Each structure stands twice: as C-alpha cells, then as structure tokens.
Chain A
Amino acid sequence: MNATQQYLEQLFANGNLPVTEARNKLLQQFCQDEVNSKAVTEILTYQNMLMDKWQLFNRITTIQEQPFTIPNATAGKPYEAVIDRDQQGWVDMEVIELNGLEDTGLQYDAETGSITGTPTAHGDRKLVLRYRLQQEPEEAEPHEKSIPLVINPNPRLLWKNLGSDATDLYWKEDDIAFTAPLGGKLLVAASKRGRSHANTGGFRDDDIAYGHFGQTGWSVIAVADGAGSAPLARQGAKLAVNAVVNYFTPALTGDGLPELELLLQEYNHGTGADTQKKLNQQIYTHLGKAALYAHKQLEAFAHTKEVALKDLHSTLLFVLLKQFAFGYAVLSFSVGDGVIGLVNTDQTAAMLMNRLDVGEFGGGTRFITMPEIFKNELFYTRFGCKVVDDFSHLFLMTDGIFDPKFVTEAALEKPEKWQELIRDLAGENEDGKKVELSPDNTQVAEELSAWMDFWSAGNHDDRTLAIVF
C-alpha cells in the first residue's frame, strides 16, 4: 500500500466513508488517477509545512518567554558572564550577534558565549541577542531576545570630596600629618577627615595634640574623636586634646612629676612600701586631674558660647611617656572607644592599655563632656600604667582605624592582630602602600597619611593614628 492510498483510506474513514475490503481494488484504481495522486501529494506537503511552521513558532515563543538574566556588573570591576545555550536548552540556537554592549567596556565572544571585560560605564542596558534556529534558512530574519544588564556605578567614584567651609568659626584642616622627636623615640601621626564627611563637605571631628618636654623628658599625646551627632564635636575634640597638653605643660616644663617618677623607679626595682598603691594614687591624681581639666574647659566653653555641653561631645585618650634609665613608663587615660596599644620589642606581645566604652552595652559610649564619668565607681578603670625596658610601637587610634583594622574588641587582645597591623603598615595591603617606620625616613608622615586612605567598605569615619616607635 503506498502513501497516497494510506492517506485516502484514513481520510475516508474519518469522513465516515470506510473502504471495505471488497472495494480495495477500486481504491487502488482511484489512486492511480494522476489528478487524485497529485492532490494528495500537495495536501501532504502543505500539512508538513504547517506542522514545521507551528513547531518553529512554538519553539521561538518558548525561547522568548524563558526568563533569562545575567549577573549585574559593576563599573571598574572585572566581569564575566556566560550565555550558556546548553544549560538553557537552546541547543538548536545559532547566535548571530549580541547587541547593546557598545561603549560598556564589555565584549561578547560568540564562540564561548561569554561576556567579559571591565565595565567603563554604568547604567541599565538592554542587551539584544539576535539568533536563528538551526532549522531555519539562512536568509530568515533573525529573532531578538532581550537580556537586561545592570552595570552599577563604581562605588568608590560615587564618593565626593567636597572641601569643608574654611570660613566656619570652628573650621579645622581636613587632613594633618606630622612627625616629632620624643627623646629617644619618634612620633608620627595623622588625622584625616573620613569619606563620609568629605562626601558632604563636612568637617573632621577627630583631633590630636602632643607635647614633648625636653627639660623633664616627658611626652604627652592626646587623641579625641568628636561625636558624629554633636554639632560642635570638632571643636570639642580640639579643646579636649589641647586642654590635656596645656594642663601638663607647666609641671613638665618645670620640676616634672618628682613623686610619681620616684614611685615608678621604686615600682620597677621592687623597693619601697605600698609602692603599687601610692603609684596608683599618683596616676589617678595627675591623669585624673588632666581629664577633669579637659572636661572643665569644655564646660566653660559651652557656658561662654551659650551652647549645650553635649553639642561638644568627644572621646578622649591620652598617654604620658618618659624614658628612664630603667626603661619606659607609659601612663594612660581614656574615655570613649579609642584604642591605646603597646607592642613589645620583639612584637610577640601586645598590651591593650585601655578599656573601651562601646556603644551597644553598658549604656552606650562615653564622652569627656559627660560629668557622670567622673563620679562613676569605675572611673579608676580608665587609667593604665606600664613600665617596660623598651617597646617597638605605641599606638593611639580612633575608631576610624580600630573598626576596619580590628573590627571587634576581642581582636585587640590578640597579638597576631597587632602583628597584622604592623605588617599592613609595612606594605602588606592591597594597594601596596608602605609606611617605613625609620628615624631616617623624612617622608614618614606623608606615607602614613597616604596609607590611612585605605579602602574598607562601610568604614568611612574620620581616622586618627599616632605611632611612637
């Protein structure tokens, strides 16, 4: 039975005209009629054409409807995405081109289906994948599937660097950096306005002051961080650090602190009676009075200028440092979330010299502007004292350095985190920025200032770091 006969038998059966066995021969004759057989061939050709067309139509619609996305790109960041035809089940697809990548810095490789490159522009793009199916003739008009591509702006370039208002009554320099000899040691320090302030043309709220008194051999270094929510915090921080240096200046340019010095000596030699207790008393008296003096200065300023004391909210940390014949004495005081750390000569141990007032528990952070800190029973825990033969680094830093470099307070207790910071300063960082801590390096302040521009997502506060080495 040939195809024509088979088709007609089926057709007649469907039309309720079944061909009986007896009429089989007649049907054969019917099929031999040229007109009839030609008609059947034509019908079959049309049918096949319709089926092919429907199949193609259906297939294209399926591809068009199939949700397809590629990951977002970011300007300045290497990107790679693949239009994986096998994975999408597009094995019958022949890609002609991918349009829409012009001027983006990205390229499409038809061979591998990958989009690669580093975007140079940002914005929402609509890519158009032009394709044909294998079963289609080459002259067929290509189909177009649109693929959205989001190119984020480079977050680093979104930050503006607006100068602060230099005509403001309490203006201060956005960035400072300096070095100062402290007897046998050298101080290098920088205080820089954070990106969050630069972005809005705000002021640097951090501050730093120091004094070295050759007559008595003592040095004072004070660092403060004005509270972001206090409108005159920059002035509060400035007054606080200067008050500490001013407080000690008369004594340290005169007779020094003889009683304290004697006790430090006895303490080191393990002589004298009740030395520890007397020493505590001396530290408490001298450093406590300096802190109270700073508080009073702020109070007086607030009173004179008729502003609220809390508008001057600032943290305060300071150290007193002196080299004796038996080694170095480091005395400290702190209120707030700054950090004072002393690293030993061979850098195997680090000592956190202060207790941090951290926001989330213990009733929030503390400022030198708060009278209650002086009445609190834990006031004595704000002092520190260490007598060492020598040390490799003494660090004072605000949270702008502490947050990105240590993250948690627990990390401050780990010598390896301090070693990491020292290696970071020595150039082990993604920008390869190096601070050569050597007395012969005349560029050390500039190097420290440049190093302090390090990038840390989410950490764009003012940064102050003082290093004695």
Chain B
Amino acid sequence: MRRLPVYLLLDTSGSMNGAPIEAVKNGVQVMLNSLRQNPQAIETAWLSVITFDSTARQLVPLTDLSSFQMPSITASGTTAFGQALRLVASCIDREVALTTAEQKGDWKPLVFIMTDGVPTDDWNTALPEFQKRKTAFTVACAAGNGADSAVLKQVTPNVVRLDTVDTNSIGQFFTWVSASIGVSSTRIEDTGKEVTGLDELPPPPAELNIVV
C-alpha cells in the first residue's frame, strides 16, 4: 500500500499565542474531519505534525488518517524555522519508504508550512538539507504582516500569504490544505501520478494571496 505522506510544519512561537494558535488547532481539526469523509484520502493520506518555537518537535509521527489524534499545541518562544526544516528532512528519511525492485515505496510527501514570523535561527544552512529531500510539493503560508515571504520563497516556489492572522483566514487556509490533499490522493489513485505544483491544486480562497 503506497502512502501519501503529509507533513504539517506549524509555527508555535510566542506571537501565535491566543487566537491564532486556537485557529490553527481548529483548522487542523476541520481538515481532519473533512479528509475522513474522502475515501481516497482516508486510504492513502498519512499525516505528521511538526511544531517549531524555540525548538522543533515532531508532535505526531506519520500516522494514518483514521488513527490520527489531535495533539495538544501551545505557543511560546522564538521561531526555530531552520530546526524545523532539518527535522522534517530527517523525518522524511526515516518515515517515507523508497521504491525498490522488491517494494513499491510511498508517494512523494506533501509539506505544508505555516509561519507568522521571521526565523530566529540559522535557517540558511538547514535549507539545503530540506531541499535534498524529494517532495511532491511544498506550500508555505506566510500568515500576517510579520511573516517574511522572501524567506519562504527560497524554501519553495509555492508561497501563499494571509493578510490577517484571524480565525477565518487561518480556517480558509486549512480548508484549502485539505482540498489539496484530497486532490493529490485522488490523482495518484486515478492516474498514478503526483501533483507537482500549485497550478494543479484547487484554486485557493480569496483570503489566500499567491506570492509570485
């Protein structure tokens, strides 16, 4: 069974405290509920949550959608974005099965990053580590004015921006993430091919501006 690994990298630094972090938790929950209604997603998508503040942690290892349980998330500290990139790279190495002559490996992972701030660590040296891993696509979301889309642009060409960090726009982002996972899982089952870019995903909602 070829899995579609999905990594969520969530900024849980101090600035996310309060309404934004609640909106993120709510967004992930809504996303789970929606994906669990999608027969292709529930069979193929596996989800992992990585959070980053003063350090990066994998809160939930790659888990199938039906067993996935929402972790408790709190926000405090700085923005160790570089650590998060390094961590997701090592998680991909450890958790995503490669295709060999004897086994069909997993599909290439999807990575969704959400941050509202500027990295406070040495993220430049972590970037090549992350880029060595093959992902189907990485989407980075710059939430609010504090986020630096120029940094994210170096991580992935697929950068979207939320003008405000409120419940509604964060909710819209996760609705779109879940639609994107749905499209990817349908496509691989239907055509045996992976989605490779933003243009193949469902159109993002009005709240989400695509940064070019």
Contact = CB atoms under 8 A, between A and B. Distances in A.
A360 B104 CA distance: 11
Given A360-B99, A408-B102, A227 B191 contact: yes
A67 B33 CA distance: 22
B193 A458 contact: no
A276 interface: no
Interface residues of A, number: 32
Q: What band does the interface of chain B fall in when counting residues whose beta carbon is under 8 Å from A?
A: 20 to 34
B66 A74 contact: yes
A259 to B, nearest CB: 40
Interface stretch (B39-47, B122-130, B152-160, B204-212): B39-47
Contact of A359 (B1, B38, B193): B193
Contact of B43 (A69, A410, A457, A461): A457
A229 B191 contact: yes
A260 interface: no
A410 B102 contact: yes
Nearest to B33: A124
A206 to B, nearest CB: 13
Interface string A178-213: 000000000000000001110100000000000000
Nearest to A199: B39
A174 interface: no
A262 interface: no
Interface of A is mostly: loop
A67 B72 contact: yes
Interface in A199-247: 199, 227-229
Contacts of B65: 152
A326 interface: no
User: When A and B form their complex, which 4 residue pairs have the shortest distance between CB atoms, in order from nearest?
Assistant: A228-B191, A158-B39, A152-B66, A228-B190
Interface of A: 67, 69, 71-72, 74, 124, 150, 152-153, 155-156, 158-159, 195-197, 199, 227-229, 359-360, 399, 407-410, 457-461
24 contacts: A67-B72, A69-B69, A71-B67, A72-B66, A74-B66, A150-B69, A152-B65, A152-B66, A153-B36, A156-B39, A158-B38, A159-B39, A195-B39, A196-B186, A196-B190, A199-B39, A227-B191, A359-B192, A407-B103, A407-B104, A408-B102, A410-B102, A458-B2, A458-B44
Interface of B: 1-2, 33, 36-40, 42-44, 65-69, 72, 99, 101-104, 186, 189-193
